[in-house]
Amino acid sequence: MPPSPTNGNQRGYIIPIGGAESKLRNPEILDRFVDLCGGKPARIAIIPTASELEDTGRNYEKLFRRLGVNHAMVLPFITREDCKSSKYLEYIEKADGVFMTGGNQLRLSTTLGGTAVAQLIRRRNAVGMHVAGTSAGAAFMPEHMIAGGSEGSTPRPNKVTLAPGLGLTNNFIIDQHFRQRDRIGRLLTALAYNPFAVGIGLDEDTAAFIRPGDDLEVVGSGGITVIDPTDLTHSSMDRAGFNDPVSLIGVKLHILVSGGRFEIATREAFAE
The per-residue pLDDT for 205 is 98
If you average pLDDT over residues 231-240, what whole number do you get?
Answer: 98
pLDDT tens digits, 97-148 = 999 999 999 999 999 999 999 999 999 999 999 999 999 999 999 999 999 9
pLDDT classification of 272: cutoffs 50, 70, 90 = confident
Q: Is residue 265 part of a domain?
A: no
**pLDDT(45) > 80:** yes
Share of the chain above pLDDT 70, in %: 99
The per-residue pLDDT for 174 is 98
Neighbours of 272 (CB within 10 A): 10
pLDDT classification of 195: cutoffs 50, 70, 90 = very high
Residue 178 and residue 138 in contact, taking contact as beta carbons nearer than 8 Å: no
**pLDDT(160) > 90:** yes
Max CA separation in the chain (angstroms): 55
Q: Is residue 9 part of a domain?
A: no
Q: Using DSSP, state whether 235 is helix, strand or coil.
A: strand
**pLDDT(5) > 80:** no
The per-residue pLDDT for 145 is 98
Average pLDDT, the chain: 97
**pLDDT(6) > 80:** no
What is the separation, in whole angstroms, between the first and last Cα of the chain?
30
C-alpha span between 222 and 205 (Å, rounded): 6
C-alpha span between 131 and 125 (Å, rounded): 7
Q: Is residue 70 part of a domain?
A: yes
The per-residue pLDDT for 254 is 98
If you average pLDDT over residues 48-69, what whole number do you get?
Answer: 97
The tally of domains found in the chain comes to: 1
Find the range with the poorest average confidence among 3-7, 74-78, 98-102, 230-234.
3-7
Say which CATH number the domain at 159 has: 3.40.50.880
**Domain span at residue 74?**
14-258
Q: Is residue 128 part of a domain?
A: yes
pLDDT tens digits, 241-270 = 999 999 999 999 999 999 999 999 999 999
**pLDDT(4) > 80:** no
Query: Burial, 33: exposed, middle or buried (Cβ in 10 Å; 0-12, 13-18, 19+)?
Result: buried
**pLDDT(213) > 80:** yes
Q: Is residue 270 part of a domain?
A: no
Q: Is residue 209 part of a domain?
A: yes
**pLDDT(1) > 90:** no
pLDDT classification of 8: cutoffs 50, 70, 90 = confident
Q: Is residue 75 part of a domain?
A: yes
Q: Is residue 195 part of a domain?
A: yes
C-alpha span between 2 and 76 (Å, rounded): 25
**pLDDT(157) > 80:** yes
The per-residue pLDDT for 130 is 98
- Catalytic residue numbers read 135, 177, 204
